[in-house]
Amino acid sequence: MKTALILFAIAILSTSSGKKCYNSLEEYNLKGHVKSVVNKEYIVSAGKEYVRHNDIAWYDVAGNVVVDSSLSHDTIFLPVRHAYKYNESGRRTEQLQLVSPGEQPGWKTLFTYDKDGFLSETNRYHPNGGLMQRVIFRYDESGNNTEQYSYSSDGKPNGIEVRRYDENGNLVQSNDYSIDAQYGSKYAVQYSSKGNLLSTVEEHFGDSMQTTVRHCRKARYSGTSYDAKGNWIKTTRITDGGWYIDTAIVKRTITYY
């Protein structure tokens, strides 16, 4: 659960709206000729910092991410890497999961675009080639990705994600439901007048033995600093999970060509 909030927060801090992007730097709202980005999340205990989560992405000279890697230190899972391919227009066409050790191929996702260059469909496959999931994307008149419909391998509807944006194109709400609305998650995002991330609210709900289970977690951000290119490099997140308070420092190291 904490990892989900970490990834969502980094995505909100780092990504642009759901609009069409021409390379990964635009997609992740990165400025300058970026070569690599390292995100590290620390918790502070007894005056010392301990790494809890880190990920890294490497970019080519065209500004597209070619390999990324993610590792959560508070879980038993091995690090996961992804490799990417692009077409002649620079649009991502394939994401391949590389599973440690030995980086054996895992699932593969293929990307399809419409005539206007917007991502229209993704298909994820098992290592044996069988279809895992299909996702269809819908956009508003401003080009924001407002709806995502997922389907299982047999073609049956699986779930829907509905997104809402403010007048500046910032994602402010994301609701993800199963097709029968029996379980899902909700995210709400608040920004300052300057467009800096202030807080996120995460809520998960689902039915278990006919009992509705809900979990809500709120996070506040402060002290965000930026480098000379205008990319954020450090922020502090305080998370209120109802029965616990968690303080974490997220640092980002960016190298440029």
DSSP string for residues in 188-219 = EEEE-TTS-EEEEEEEEEEEETTEEEEEEEEE
Q: Is 8 helix (H, G, I), strand (E, B) or coil?
A: helix
Rg (CA), the chain: 19
Q: What is the pLDDT of residue 112?
A: 96
Find the mean pLDDT for residues 93-118: 86
DSSP-assigned beta bridge partners for residue 68: 57, 82
Q: What is the pLDDT of residue 77?
A: 62
pLDDT value at 193 more than 70 = yes
Find the mean pLDDT for residues 250-254: 95
Q: What is the pLDDT of residue 4?
A: 47
Residues in the chain: 257
- Count of Cβ atoms closer than 10 Å to residue 96 Cβ: 18
22 to each of 38, 88, 119, 207, how far by Cα in Å? 22, 12, 11, 41
> Which tens digit of pLDDT belongs to each residue from 109-137?
999 999 999 999 999 999 999 999 999 99
> Which tens digit of pLDDT belongs to each residue from 19-48?
666 788 888 889 999 999 999 999 877 777
Q: What is the pLDDT of residue 230?
A: 93
Domain ranges of the chain: 2-157+224-256
Q: For the whole prediction, is pTM greater than 0.85?
A: no
Find the mean pLDDT for residues 71-87: 79
Cβ atoms of 70 and 78 closer than 8 Å: no
Find the mean pLDDT for residues 6-17: 50
4-13, 88-97, 214-223: which has the highest mean pLDDT? 88-97
- The CATH-assigned architecture of domain 2-157+224-256 is Beta Barrel (2.40)
CA distance 248 to 240: 12
> Which tens digit of pLDDT belongs to each residue from 137-188?
999 999 999 999 999 999 999 999 999 999 888 889 999 988 887 788 888 8
- Torsions phi, psi for 228 (to 5 deg): -65, -20
CA distance 72 to 50: 12
> Which tens digit of pLDDT belongs to each residue from 195-222?
777 888 888 887 654 455 566 778 888 8
Q: What is the pLDDT of residue 240?
A: 84
